[in-house]
Amino acid sequence: MAVKKKKTRKKVGSKVKPKSSFKIKWDWYTIGVIAVAFLVYANTINHGYVLDDDLVCAKNRYVSSGFSGIGDIFTHSLHEGFTGTPDRNYRPVMMAAFAIEKQFFGESPQTHHFFNVFWYALACGLLFLTLRLIFKEHNQLLPLGIALLFAAHPIHTEVVANIKSRDEIFLFLGLMGTVYSVMKYCQKGNLKWLLFGLAAYLFSALSKESGLAVLGIVPLTAYFFGGQNKTRLFKTTGYFLIPVILYFLLYFNATGDSGQQLGITDNSLYAAESLLDRLATAIAMMGDYLWLLVFPVSLSYDYSAFQVPIMAWTDFRPIVSLIVWAGLAGFTLWSIVKGNKNLVAYGIGFFLIMFGMVSNVFFLTGVTMAERLLFSPSLGFCMILGYYMYEFLFKKGYSNYFYGLLGVIFVLYSFKTFDRNAVWKSDATLFSTGIHTAPNSSRSNTFYGTSLFEEAKTIKNVTEQRQKVEEAIAYYDKALSIYDGFTECHHHKGDA
């Protein structure tokens, strides 16, 4: 009997030890991803306000009120605390976060920048945990590689370096929280995970309107990774109508009949002469978005009128883009119909679902094109890139090539991101580079002209000051030659 007891202890011990070390190993990977994401954007923490950052912070009376303004934030539209009139945007989670930061730390752009980086790093950590959960049948290097690619991708610079884009970070946090919680619920059957998932989805939608698209990710994930719990996961989707209804009640209560009118300066697609031209231009821009994901080299803060020209179906760009995207979408549908649950199809489907609401294909949005709109959808691209490296290098026995290629891409991404961060330090640095990356934008030329005019005010020498003012006027003239209807430019030129 003594011998049996000794053997039993040995067996128990042999099970407990590796289980403990396995957990610790995974925890270190999570911490590593968080640390990497934070370090890549650490040089943005000392930046100031750029563009309309201060409209949602320093110049927004609800945010400036701290805790006492949170009630107004949840009952009013996004810019109402600055303009005094309702608009069509409702993003109370982001605004409430700014108000809390204001309450504890006072008015400081550096504080807001720090928390942008903090929440981004946390989102990347949650991304890794979620990928680990849905790719549990694969080696840990697959979710790790995808998370690192996402954390360092330069296309995210605008979101993290621009305070106002906190809404995109929170949307992504809610997205990851939703997927993680729902998968846990389907595996464990514990009601608390379903409640967490519903709360995370509402959090995502209240962060930004396009967060509603997260609802489509639930059945997509169910199909590809639900396994034996697929039926439960599909049934779970119905519960998400509860936060959808709650969201729209809050949204319409806050925005009401805003009467906000969008125009060409907001979205140049309003200048399209026909629906076909509008659709052709939107499809062409989807090709531009894909190019930016694959080659994030020439980045810009502005793509407004008319950096992206209005196109027709006689142009080659819409045709090429349509062929590419129709092929990708067709491959995803074919995979679903045939029951081929590969990660590439999931990545494409993920991108299309998260990008659909902001693509200008189905309806016009408040912006022509913006890199920040790729933030959540870019995960689909990172999944595909990481999967191909894992599948064709690591699994084929070429682990050193896998590590090498992943390392090279990660380093290149990180250097580009770190360098691009510096551009977002101030309006002056942003506008001086924007005039080169968006030379055909009326807004870009106007903003740079204004930057020169403000610089002229600080020059004491009358001759040099006049030269600087004339330089500013030249950019105003160029802006108006691109689009004469830009009222703001006329005002600035009059001041000059």
- Residue predicted with more confidence, 108 or 12: 108
Same domain (yes/no): 130, 77: yes
SS3 content of the chain, % helix, strand, coil (to 5): 75, 0, 25
Range of the domain at 99: 24-255
pLDDT score of 13 more than 90 = no
Same domain (yes/no): 88, 178: yes
Looking at 2-11, 115-124, 186-195, which range is the least confident one?
Answer: 2-11
Residue 150 in domain: yes
pLDDT score of 258 more than 70 = no
CA-based R_g, the chain, Å: 25
Q: What confidence score (pLDDT) does residue 230 get?
A: 66
Q: Which positions ≥6 away from 389 have C-beta within 8 Å? A: 145, 402, 405, 406
Q: What confidence score (pLDDT) does residue 259 get?
A: 66
Q: What confidence score (pLDDT) does residue 189 get?
A: 80
Same domain (yes/no): 243, 345: no
- Residue predicted with more confidence, 38 or 88: 38
Number of domains in the chain: 3
Residue 385 in domain: yes
Residue 45 in domain: yes
Same domain (yes/no): 158, 188: yes
Q: What confidence score (pLDDT) does residue 161 get?
A: 98
Task: Let me know: does 301 contact 158? Beta carbons within 8 Å.
Answer: yes
pLDDT score of 421 more than 90 = yes
The band of 223, judged by pLDDT with boundaries at 50, 70 and 90, is: confident
| Separation CA 284–CA 310 (nearest Å) | 10
Q: What confidence score (pLDDT) does residue 495 get?
A: 87
Neighbours of 152 (CB within 10 A): 25
Neighbours of 18 (CB within 10 A): 10
Q: What confidence score (pLDDT) does residue 7 get?
A: 46
Residue 344 in domain: yes
| Separation CA 2–CA 150 (nearest Å) | 55
Q: What confidence score (pLDDT) does residue 9 get?
A: 47
Burial 214-238, CB ≥16 within 10 A → b, else e: bbbbbbbbbbbbbeebbebbeebee
Q: Which positions ≥6 away from 127 have C-beta within 8 Å? A: 33, 146, 147, 150, 172, 176, 379
* Span 114-119, average pLDDT: 98
**CA-wise closest residue to 427 among 442, 441, 448, 446:** 448
Same domain (yes/no): 40, 155: yes
Residue 435 in domain: no
| Separation CA 428–CA 455 (nearest Å) | 9
Looking at 5-14, 245-254, 380-389, which range is the least confident one?
Answer: 5-14
Asked which of 220, 255, 290 is the last residue of a domain, the reply is 255
Task: Let me know: does 118 contact 97? Beta carbons within 8 Å.
Answer: no
Q: Which positions ≥6 away from 407 have C-beta within 8 Å? A: none
Q: How far apart are the first and last CA of the chain?
A: 97
* Span 205-217, average pLDDT: 96
| Separation CA 402–CA 27 (nearest Å) | 23
Going from the C-alpha of 276 to that of each of 139, 330, 363, the distances in angstroms are 47, 22, 13
Same domain (yes/no): 244, 362: no
Q: What confidence score (pLDDT) does residue 6 get?
A: 47
Q: What confidence score (pLDDT) does residue 111 get?
A: 97
* Span 175-188, average pLDDT: 91
Looking at 63-77, 116-130, 178-192, 302-316, which range is the least confident one?
Answer: 178-192
Going from the C-alpha of 237 to that of each of 208, 219, 347, the distances in angstroms are 20, 7, 20
pLDDT score of 20 more than 70 = no
Looking at 8-17, 198-207, 371-380, 438-447, which range is the least confident one?
Answer: 8-17
Encoded amino acid at 414, one letter: S
Q: Which positions ≥6 away from 387 have C-beta within 8 Å? A: 142, 146, 343, 344, 347
Same domain (yes/no): 186, 274: no
- Residue predicted with more confidence, 226 or 70: 70
Q: What confidence score (pLDDT) does residue 225 get?
A: 87
Q: Which two tokens stand for residue 294?
A: 């694959």
Q: What confidence score (pLDDT) does residue 23 get?
A: 44
Same domain (yes/no): 179, 136: yes
* Span 99-117, average pLDDT: 96
Residue 420 in domain: no
* Span 162-175, average pLDDT: 98
Cis amide bond preceding 351, omega within 30 = no
* Span 11-38, average pLDDT: 65
Residue 384 in domain: yes
pLDDT score of 60 more than 80 = yes
pLDDT score of 5 more than 80 = no
Same domain (yes/no): 283, 240: no
Q: Which positions ≥6 away from 489 have C-beta within 8 Å? A: 442, 445, 446, 449, 476, 479, 480
Same domain (yes/no): 230, 275: no
Q: What confidence score (pLDDT) does residue 153 get?
A: 98
Same domain (yes/no): 69, 217: yes
Encoded amino acid at 238, one letter: G
pLDDT score of 178 more than 50 = yes
Q: What confidence score (pLDDT) does residue 235 get?
A: 76
Burial 457-489, CB ≥16 within 10 A → b, else e: eeeeeeeeeeebbebbbebbebbbebbeebeeb
Residue linked to tokens 């682990």 = 399
Q: What confidence score (pLDDT) does residue 17 get?
A: 42
Residue 410 in domain: no
| Separation CA 388–CA 378 (nearest Å) | 16
Q: HSE on the CB side for 167, CA within 13 Å?
A: 20
Average pLDDT, the chain: 92
The band of 1, judged by pLDDT with boundaries at 50, 70 and 90, is: very low
pLDDT score of 26 more than 60 = no
Same domain (yes/no): 86, 140: yes
48-58 pLDDT, tens digit each? 999 989 889 98
